[in-house]
Homo-oligomer: A and B are copies of this chain.
Amino acid sequence: MNETSHKPEAPRTARAEAKAERRQQLIEATIDCIAKFGLSGTTMARVTELAGVSVGLANFHFDSKDLLLAAVIKHLADEQRALWQSRDQGPDRSSSDLLRAIVDSRFHTKICARRKLAVTLAFDGDAGAREIYRRVVGDMDDERLDASVAIITEMIAEGGYTGIDPVETVLTLEAMYDGLWLNMLLYPGEFRRTACRDRAMRMIATLFPKHFDASPLAG
């Protein structure tokens, strides 16, 4: 009512607000459904039952199951992007601080919630859904990769490490993060969030001993 913003996403009326909430509610229900039953066990009936609404409503809000799934991915990707970009980027931050911030955002509580890991990896693992997934998430992955490469390039220059290829190193590290995610999902008992984050940092410290005081894995 009192809002005259140009932003299209700003809800102006009570109805628009309720609509956004409904969409959100359905997205959350879909996340829970995928986490519990897998992508192959996720049906409109189950999703809407979890959300406590009728089957028709989901199609009213998202037009089709595919678009609902795309909205779920987008929601997760937006959350990750927001978390990653909100990291402190002040001009006085050292390269090692920046790298640590990337690791921290990768292993943030919000991101590593079991239900969300389950969804992310479900899309990674399903050939059919992978296409939708990559369209929505690909850009962010590239952004983050570029940022990591820049940071590591700087660290190499600072530390005088020789024989290290920045791109190569970043790809290996990203693979390790992904692998830790997978293991958190598969073996939640042995792979706790903070332990995984520390594991990743320890590996980094071993690679760049001059940037990270103690190298707990090797000393």
Contacts and interface: CB of A to CB of B under 8 A. Distances in A.
Contact of A126 (B40, B178, B217): B40
A183 B176 contact: no
A21 to B, nearest CB: 26
A16 interface: no
Contacts of A34: 127
Contact of A127 (B41, B164, B178, B199): B41
A141 to B, nearest CB: 9
B182 A176 contact: no
A52 interface: no
A183 to B, nearest CB: 5
A128 B37 contact: yes
A118 interface: yes
Copies of this chain present in the complex amount to 2
A124 B199 contact: no
Given A217-B164, A218-B207, A37 B179 contact: no
Most buried by B among A118, A134, A179: A179
A186 B130 contact: yes
B127 A118 contact: yes
Interface string A179-219: 11011011000110000100100110011000000001111
B179 A127 contact: no
A169 interface: yes
Interface of A: 34-41, 118, 121-130, 134, 161-164, 168-169, 171-172, 174-180, 182-183, 185-186, 190-191, 196, 199, 202-203, 206-207, 216-219
Given A171-B191, A175-B180, 17 more contacts: A36-B127, A39-B39, A39-B40, A40-B126, A41-B127, A122-B127, A162-B218, A168-B199, A172-B203, A174-B179, A175-B182, A175-B199, A176-B176, A179-B179, A206-B206, A206-B207, A207-B218
